[in-house]
Amino acid sequence: MARRGRGPSRTRQSVIRAARIANAAFAMGTPYEAGPDSEARQGRELVEALEEAAVPYIVYSSVANADRKTGIPHFESKAKVERHLAFLGVPCSVVAPVFFMENFHSPAFVSALRNGKLAMALPRHRPLGMIAVEDVAAFTALAIERRSEFEGKRTDIGADEVSGVEAAAILADAIGRRITYEETPRDGLNADWAKNEWFSRERYEFDAALLRREYPEVRWRTLREWAVTQDWLSLLAAEAASPGAEPKRT
């Protein structure tokens, strides 16, 4: 289809050149550099470049439940890219993970854990879906390798669901020190998902049992299984990062 807007940027041209030899492409973006609006714009430009390069198949990394009008800014930015993929009509699939377990490595979480707290802007007993990044990668590889099975599908993926209180107990066992849960006020955080009321009344919807049954190639680690493999001693001993840093992704 005809190109929209102004002429191709140097970055876009480089993507097109690199992608011409690809059999498939994995596309993702982040709102944590220039904001959700930029993420949506860059995502649309990226998939347009992949379309122009005639890439046969695109796997787009979104976030679970982004298609449900949550109002969370970085969910909505990914939903815009998903809609643009549908508009372009390119062969694609969408992999949509829940909260990354690796977010607990972020400076904000590590700083609190160092002081014996797990601090999150969620009610104490509100379940939160979680997944290890390595399992996201393994599932994405399946989506690329088994195109005929995944093309045209959107899959919300997660491996575990625990409340803040349960997560604090699991991390305490893995770290070997007392950790208590602390519910922090949403208006005191920069993370847009934390400020939004959606997480106070809703939860990620995904079927962990079905995922384990249909895709046994993926380990689908629980938070406990993931936590005991992490080098908490090094993480907690590291110099504290600047105050106010936020987890990067859900």
Per-residue pLDDT of 137-166, as tens digits, reads 999 999 999 999 999 999 999 999 999 999
| Orientation of helix 36-52 relative to helix 10-19, angle to 10° | 50
What domain count does the chain have?
Answer: 1
Beta-strand pair 160-162/128-131: antiparallel
Q: Does the pLDDT at position 133 exceed 60? A: yes
Residue 203 sits in a domain of what CATH number? 3.40.50.720
Residue 243 belongs to a domain: no
Per-residue pLDDT of 44-60, as tens digits, reads 999 999 999 999 999 99
DSSP state of 62: -
Per-residue pLDDT of 185-239, as tens digits, reads 765 445 555 556 777 778 899 999 999 999 999 999 999 999 999 999 999 997 5
Q: Which residue has the higher pLDDT, 100 or 202?
A: 100
pLDDT of res. 1: 39
Structure tokens at 246: 């936020």
CB-based contacts of 1, cutoff 8 Å, min separation 6? 51, 88
Residue 190 belongs to a domain: yes
Closest listed residue to residue 109, CA positions, set 120, 98, 100, 99: 120
Identify the domain containing residue 120 by its residue range.
10-237
Residue 249 belongs to a domain: no
pTM: 0.86
Residue 206 belongs to a domain: yes
Residue 244 belongs to a domain: no
DSSP state of 85: H
Q: Give residue for tokens 């409340």.
A: 163
Residue 1 belongs to a domain: no
Residue 221 belongs to a domain: yes
